Amino acid sequence: QSVLTQPPSVSGAPGQRVTISCTGSSSNIGAGYDVHWYQQLPGTAPKLLIYGNNNRPSGVPDRFSGSKSGTSASLAITGLQAEDEADYYCQSYDSSLGGWVFGGGTKLTVL
């Protein structure tokens, strides 16, 4: 059981907007530590998608955006495309555990 809670799955039709939540606590997100997001396409290594809550690395489409408020963070994907079908993970630091932590992951299905 991860200290960062994500929904196991979300889905949406092409062109739609979906959001993936990442719920933490006062020892991680709520303590002010940044949240980062990764995309893992089937059979491949994870790829950095969002860093520092809402920053996109070069090459990541602006259809992907991140936000953070209180003890939670969210990843939003607009204009959903078939190639967005993947697993998505949030990541932060937890002071109680004394280490970096990942959410359990969310499988995005494009209908």
Partner 1 sequence: EVQLLESGGGLVQPGGSLRLSCAASGFAFSSYAMSWVRQAPGKGLEWVSTIRASGDNTYYADSVKGRFAISRDNSKNTLYLQMNSLRAEDTAVYYCAKVEGSWWLSLYFDYWGQGTLVTVSS
Name the phi and psi angles at 83, rounded to 5.
-75, -5
Q: Tokens representing 76?
A: 């939003």
We find the least distance from the C-beta atom of residue 16 to partner 1, in angstroms, to be 25
**Quick one: three-class SS letters along the chain?**
CCCEECCCEEEECCCCCEEEEEECCCCCHHHCCCCEEEEECCCCCCEEEEECCCECCCCCCCCEEEEEECCEEEEEECCCCHHHCEEEEEEEEECCCCEEEEECCEEEEEC
Q: Is 47 in the site for partner 1 (CB under 8 A)?
A: yes
We find the least distance from the C-beta atom of residue 100 to partner 1, in angstroms, to be 4
Among 11, 15, 70, 97, binds partner 1 (CB under 8 A): 97
Q: Tokens representing 5?
A: 């809670």
Taking the least distance from each CB to partner 1, the nearer of 64 and 93 is 93
Stretch that binds partner 1, among 10-18, 60-68, 70-78, 86-94 (CB under 8 A): 86-94
Applying the rule CB under 8 A, the residues between 48 and 77 that interact with partner 1 are: 48, 51-52, 57
Q: Is 24 in the site for partner 1 (CB under 8 A)?
A: no
Q: Where does this chain bind partner 1 (CB under 8 A)? A: 2, 33-34, 36, 38, 40, 44-48, 51-52, 57, 87, 89, 91-93, 95, 97-105
